[in-house]
Amino acid sequence: MSSGGRLPRGELARKAVHLSMAVFALVLRWLTWPLAAACAVAAFAFNLVGLPRLLGHRLASERRGAGDTGVLLYPVVVLGLILIFHQPGPVGLAFAAFGWGLLAGGDAAAGVTGMLWGRNRLPWNRSKSWEGVGGYLAGGGLLGWFLFWWTLGGPPPAAAPSIMAALVILAILSAALLETVPHGLDDNVLPPLFGTFVLLAGVGIAARGPVVPLRAVAVAAAINLAVALIARAVRLLEPAGILAAWILGTVTLGFGTWRAYLLLWLFLGIGTAVTRLRRAEKRRLGLEDEARRGAGHVLANGSLCLLGSLLWGLSGGAAELAAVLVAGGLAAALADTMASEIGKAWGRTAYALPSLRRVSPGTEGAVSVAGTLAGAAGAAIVAAAAVATGFLPVGWALPLALGGFLAMLAEGFLDRLGPATNHGTNLANTVMGALLAYAMHLFV
């Protein structure tokens, strides 16, 4: 989605191949998920060994940053979609096909649109444009919905078309916006997985119709207005951060009920407490972030809580995966915050992963024994609270705790993989926490 002008030499051919690979998604209609997964593994092996011998560098591009990584990641992401989102019965691989459409159509359309016509750059990522976002929405939306419809053999049964369309748009928008965030990972990885998860989490709404708790939302707005005024009085957040926090709190309490709101306050309360531990020592070592938090910080850690609460409330509390978005994201967020702050306070020895080379405490991506244990505790606290309040069944406790912990560890690598910002890696951390929790619930 770079700024507008021309396509670098070779880029159109690369995007055409990227898009054309979606042809293979048509056969998902007749495959079982183990056979589809085996095909994805075979495709990875071919791209790794056979494709370079057949094509060499004839698909090379002059675009800065273009390389062979995407060719190898493509079948890996497809494999992830198949393994995580296959469903029993007639639904089969329809959701995996939707994600494949986002991967193929969204990325290709966003890239071409952004490079040719991208003039209006995004405030949070100047290398991408609103025109590219529009391209992702159009290309990913059309191809994703077609492949979903094709693999399913028609529109979803017992689903209101207008509500299903709104959910598809929400899923595509979620993927498109995540694709614009600089978080280190290749932008072909998390967006299609996350967009598919959002669609799957919301299908219960299409089956039973939305429930809008207007009275609960009004009460939540008033409660969070009082909280916002307190935050303003103590200068805890910047003005934009206060507005973002008010919206987050209102949606979480109004739609997610007190259960989601409790998880949010666990993150806020414990996170604030550990941030203030040994502040003088952190300040002396230059490890304290004294700036007031803005909207970016609130949204980076709370976007999944907001989205999951909204879907959970609209489903009348029937969308279990919407609760996983809330709890999985907050488990990863608290794990990351506790690991970082406890590590700064008491982690006398820090190590760089994966080499385990000793580095100075506070080094980006480094871990310490104290910080790692604190991160595990943070994820476990959110998981335990989610189960204890009945927000999720007991069977989710271990997946949530492991998912949040593993996401916290993975987040330490992100800024080494590509361009990344602190807000971007924080958002990616929450997304990975929810996805890993769901994946482990399927297989553990």
Average pLDDT of the segment spanning 284-303: 74
Average pLDDT of the segment spanning 201-211: 80
Q: Are residues 38 and 183 in the same domain?
A: yes
Is 58 within a domain? yes
Measure the CA angle with vertex 38, ends 32 and 43; round to 5°.
Answer: 125
pLDDT band at 414; cut points 50, 70, 90: confident
Phi, psi of 165 (to 5 degrees): -65, -40
Q: Are residues 242 and 202 in the same domain?
A: no
| Model confidence pLDDT, tens digit, residues 252-280 | 999 999 999 999 999 999 998 988 776 66
Question: Do 205 and 314 contact (CB within 8 A), yes or no?
Answer: yes
Domain termination site, one of 175, 208, 241: 208
Q: Are residues 38 and 67 in the same domain?
A: yes
Q: Locate all alpha helices (DSSP H) within 238-368, ordered by sequence.
A: 239-275, 279-285, 295-314, 320-346
**pLDDT above 70 covers what percent of the chain?**
84
Is 83 within a domain? yes
Domain range for 265 is 215-443
Whole-angstrom Cα distance, residue 329 to residue 400? 9
Question: Is 366 in a helix, a strand, or coil?
Answer: strand
Is 377 within a domain? yes
Q: Are residues 141 and 204 in the same domain?
A: yes
Is 356 within a domain? yes
Largest CA distance in the chain: 66
Is 3 within a domain? no
| Number of neighbours of residue 39 by Cβ within 10 angstroms | 18
| Number of neighbours of residue 217 by Cβ within 10 angstroms | 16
Output the pLDDT for position 63.
Answer: 47
**pLDDT above 90 covers what percent of the chain?**
56
Tokens of 64: 């800065």
| Position 169 pLDDT exceeds 50 | yes
Is 69 within a domain? yes
Output the pLDDT for position 341.
Answer: 84
- Omega of the bond prior to 239 within 30 degrees of 0, cis? no
Whole-angstrom Cα distance, residue 417 to residue 428? 13
Output the pLDDT for position 116.
Answer: 86
Average pLDDT of the segment spanning 178-194: 93
Output the pLDDT for position 294.
Answer: 82
Tokens of 370: 């104290």
Whole-angstrom Cα distance, residue 251 to residue 76? 35
Is the C-alpha dihedral spanning 232, 238, 241, 247 positive or negative? positive
| Model confidence pLDDT, tens digit, residues 69-91 | 777 889 999 999 999 999 998 89
Is 1 within a domain? no
Average pLDDT of the segment spanning 397-418: 92
Tokens of 124: 């949070």
Q: Are residues 201 and 234 in the same domain?
A: no
Q: Higher pLDDT residue, 257 or 205?
A: 257
Output the pLDDT for position 61.
Answer: 46
Q: Are residues 187 and 263 in the same domain?
A: no
| Model confidence pLDDT, tens digit, residues 17-62 | 778 888 999 999 999 999 999 999 999 988 888 766 666 544 454 4
| Model confidence pLDDT, tens digit, residues 330-361 | 999 999 999 988 877 675 666 666 666 666 66
Average pLDDT of the segment spanning 112-120: 87
**215, 220, 222, 225: CA torsion to nearest 10:** -160
Q: Are residues 233 and 89 in the same domain?
A: no
Domain termination site, one of 181, 208, 235: 208
Q: Are residues 247 and 174 in the same domain?
A: no
Q: How is residue 103 annotated by DSSP? A: I
| Position 309 pLDDT exceeds 50 | yes
Whole-angstrom Cα distance, residue 439 to residue 442? 5
Is 221 within a domain? yes
Q: Are residues 221 and 253 in the same domain?
A: yes
Average pLDDT of the segment spanning 197-209: 85
Tokens of 226: 């009082």
Number of separate domains in the chain: 2
Q: Are residues 107 and 123 in the same domain?
A: yes
pLDDT band at 1; cut points 50, 70, 90: very low
| Position 402 pLDDT exceeds 90 | yes
Mean pLDDT of the chain: 86
Q: Are residues 156 and 258 in the same domain?
A: no
Q: Are residues 227 and 131 in the same domain?
A: no
Domain termination site, one of 157, 173, 208: 208
Question: Is 223 in a helix, a strand, or coil?
Answer: helix
Output the pLDDT for position 288.
Answer: 56
Helix (H) or strand (E) holding 350: strand 350-352
